[in-house]
A and B are shown apart, each in its own frame.
Chain A
Amino acid sequence: MIKAPKKLIKEQIELADGRYLIFYTFAPADRLASSRRADPPDGKEPKSAEEN
């Protein structure tokens, strides 16, 4: 059995009509899409959901 991915990372963006959309990604963190077209609305770095 392989190990389950550990870290849950969420990246929230605001859509054009004001709704939110959250990308959930799992470790390894370097697989996070670095080319998001929209930055998080608050300009903060994405963070681990467990840290919220």
Chain B
Amino acid sequence: MSELRWNPLLGEWVATATGRQDRTFLPPDDYCPLCPTRPGGFPTEVPEGDYDIVVFENRFPSLKSLPDIPVVESSELYPVLPSQGVCEVVLYSPNHSSSLALEPVEQIYKLIRVWTDRFRELGALDFVKYVFIFENKGEAIGVTLHHPHGQIYAYPFIPPRIETELKQFAAYRQRSEKCLLCDVLSEEFKARRRIVAENDSFAAVLPFFARWPYETHIYSKRHFQALTDMSEVETKDLASILKTVLVAFDELFQMSFPYMMVMHQGPVDGLSYDFYHFHVEFYPPLRSANRLKYLAGSETGAGMFINDTLPEEKASELREHVREVVWQSRDPERNG
């Protein structure tokens, strides 16, 4: 059973999805449902012995293209809607013990091509207003499956954090006739202290206003709104800077670094959002090698984050682990 319930206090939707209570929880490696189905092995989600990148509809979705009928009635105070949307799982690699950081940059490039295709296809659905690409990585974040994968939610509304950003971008454009993120990037290049890495098309920045100690954003240098606006060179450069940031994260504490990665793109509701600016945000929950940053009273109840660290210092730490990206493939023959 699932439905969307309106929270009149905050003016936002909450999804109920009771079917998710029974989802697979940290199965042994031999019974990973995201691995290929091996000959004689148990059937996984993927009915093949190998794959490159796979996308499928989540078995335990919070949004469905043919949604359930809500179990409660809608009222003026408490509007209720069917939870119509799409929840997809994206498998990055058939290798169970891999991660996006460990995959060669060519695989990340391929993944971006897949994300772009999913953005285009899901964004064309008439009930979808926002396509949200994200990854939760690590038990610290609450992942229930370790196999390298991400997710895509196609929402029937613009989610609240994106809506807040859109309002800020629109107001800034109206005030200054400029793009807010273009100006942020310009400010960061003047200061340089919070820039972690850059290439011709993107910059990785630990933002001035970071809420998490190692929060890192990737900003496109050119002003555009979505993956579908990127050139071939920009696609390669995005793959390269993602690899750079992911490797730096893993090297920081010599561990597979947990994070939430989210992609902020323009909505797909048919309106123009040319004032918006594409970016990727990472929220790693660690504040040191063995300590988590918890979302406690102030963060959760008041919405004010307290960052125990200085972004300038954390950017410097991450910069020490930036390595040159060598273009490599999973196919040894392609590496020459």
For chain A, the bracket of interface size reads: 20 to 34
Is the pair A26, B336 in contact by a Cβ cutoff of 8 Å? no
Is the pair A10, B117 in contact by a Cβ cutoff of 8 Å? yes
Cα–Cα distance between A49 and B114 once the two chains are bound (Å)? 9
Residues of B within 8 A of A4 (CB): 106, 109, 232, 236, 327
Nearest Cβ in chain B — how far from A36, in angstroms?
A: 7
Nearest Cβ in chain A — how far from B103, in angstroms?
A: 14
0/1 interface trace, chain A 20-37, chain B, CB 8 Å (1 if under): 111111100000010011
Please count how many residues in chain B sit with their CB below 8 Å of the partner chain's CB atoms.
27
Is the pair A26, B110 in contact by a Cβ cutoff of 8 Å? yes
Cβ-defined partner of A21 (8 Å) among B52, B54, B113, B117: B54
Is the pair B53, A24 in contact by a Cβ cutoff of 8 Å? yes
Interface residue ranges, B against A (CB under 8 Å): 45-48, 50-57, 59, 106, 109-110, 113-114, 117, 121, 232, 236, 327, 329, 334-336
Given A21-B57, A24-B114, 16 other A-B residues pairs in contact with their CB atoms under 8 A: A4-B232, A4-B236, A5-B106, A8-B110, A8-B114, A13-B47, A15-B45, A21-B46, A22-B54, A23-B51, A23-B54, A24-B54, A24-B55, A33-B51, A37-B47, A52-B121
Interface residue ranges, A against B (CB under 8 Å): 1-2, 4-5, 8, 10, 13, 15, 17, 19-26, 33, 36-38, 49, 52
